[in-house]
């Protein structure tokens, strides 16, 4: 767990670090999908320069959200950017997930050579629960991963997973930056964009068995996101803040978001995968 920030005080007092929040959600997901799967994790505060001695000691990395922007000129951000690229290039069996800021810095680090940039979203803040329309490519890939991942195989598992897989995903959001991909042909064929919302066209990226990112927060619930917004928006217009808080008081698909991530962790990581 690479913690790129600390939760706001009320959240930290109740739940601890973002790494702890991710851990607990993945433990719950493992209980739903595979009784034999055990989740173990270790937290690293990358803002303070803490990193694993060897990334290869872990099967996966999770990069949390942050109040910072991935394009900020700060030493810890530059180091994290370089670390992600190094792990991606040199540790092909280590899987990578990023949430919000984590999504943005993963895209910036790995995909910048294809013209991908992180910038302020001209549409402004995306706040509260929003429905992601998942791309057909991602839904189809998700069906394959679900069939060959944590759950027991059956003769019809590939097709049933594809047909029963979600077409939309409701997540909590609190972000003003976004990932801009030049066009639909900019990324190599091994990369898939997961979907879009009305406010943000790049809701995550996916490479089979290797990388998954969400612009949204499956790890945030009403409490976490509302407490975060109260701090972020302390000086906002009260009406704007109130609308944001109301948008956060809605049901979401956090469990499905966690299950999808677990499918990534259970799917094979191929050392000879074309990592372009």
Place of tokens 């059956």: 154
Question: Pairing state of beta strands 126-134 and 168-175?
Answer: antiparallel
Beta bridge partners of 96: 61, 211
Cα–Cα distances (Å) from 221 to 28, 62, 84, 225, in that order, read 15, 18, 27, 6
d(CA 261, CA 174): 20
pLDDT at 164: 53
pLDDT at 143: 67
pLDDT at 37: 83
**111-165 tens-digit pLDDT:** 999 999 999 999 999 999 999 999 999 998 876 554 434 444 333 443 444 445 6
Per DSSP, 46 falls in state G
pLDDT at 269: 59
d(CA 152, CA 158): 11
pLDDT at 155: 37
Domains of the chain: 2-266 (3.40.50.880)
pLDDT at 223: 98
pLDDT at 33: 78
pTM of the complete model: 0.89
Sorted by sequence, the CB contacts under 8 Å of residue 104 that are 6+ apart come out as 69, 70, 98, 118, 177, 178, 179, 215
pLDDT at 229: 98
pLDDT at 274: 41
For 38, phi then psi, to 5°, come to: -115, 130
Long-range CB contacts (within 8 A, 24+) of 52-56: 55/86, 55/87, 55/91, 55/94, 56/91, 56/93, 56/94
**How many C-beta atoms lie closer than 10 Å to residue 54's C-beta?**
9
For 174, phi then psi, to 5°, come to: -160, 90
Q: Which residues of the chain, if any, have pLDDT below 70? A: 35, 143-165, 268-276
pLDDT at 228: 98
């Amino acid at each position: 767990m690479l913690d790129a920030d600390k939760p706001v005080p009320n959240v930290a007092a109740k739940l601890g670090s973002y790494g702890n929040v991710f851990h607990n959600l993945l433990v719950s997901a493992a209980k739903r999908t595979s009784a034999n799967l055990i989740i173990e994790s270790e937290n690293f505060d990358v803002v303070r320069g803490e990193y694993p001695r060897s990334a290869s000691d872990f099967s996966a990395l999770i990069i949390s959200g942050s109040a910072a922007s991935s394009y900020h000129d700060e030493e810890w951000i530059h180091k994290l950017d370089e670390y992600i690229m190094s792990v991606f290039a040199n540790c092909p069996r280590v899987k990578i997930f990023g949430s919000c800021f984590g999504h943005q810095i993963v895209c910036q680090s790995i995909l910048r050579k294809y013209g991908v940039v992180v910038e302020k979203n001209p549409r402004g803040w995306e706040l509260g629960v929003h429905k992601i329309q998942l791309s057909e490519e991602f839904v189809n890939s998700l069906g394959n991963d679900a069939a060959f991942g944590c759950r027991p195989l059956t003769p019809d598992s590939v097709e049933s997973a594809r047909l029963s897989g979600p077409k939309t995903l409701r997540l909590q959001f609190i972000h003003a930056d976004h990932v801009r991909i030049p066009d639909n042909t900019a990324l190599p064929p091994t990369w898939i964009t997961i979907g879009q919302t009305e406010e943000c066209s790049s809701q995550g990226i996916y490479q089979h068995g290797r990388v998954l990112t969400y612009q949204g927060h499956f790890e945030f619930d009403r409490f976490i996101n509302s407490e975060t917004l109260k701090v972020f928006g302390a000086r906002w217009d009260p009406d704007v803040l109130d609308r944001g808080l109301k948008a956060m008081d809605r049901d979401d698909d956090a469990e499905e978001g966690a299950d999808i991530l677990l499918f990534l962790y259970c799917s094979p990581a191929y050392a000879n995968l074309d990592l372009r």
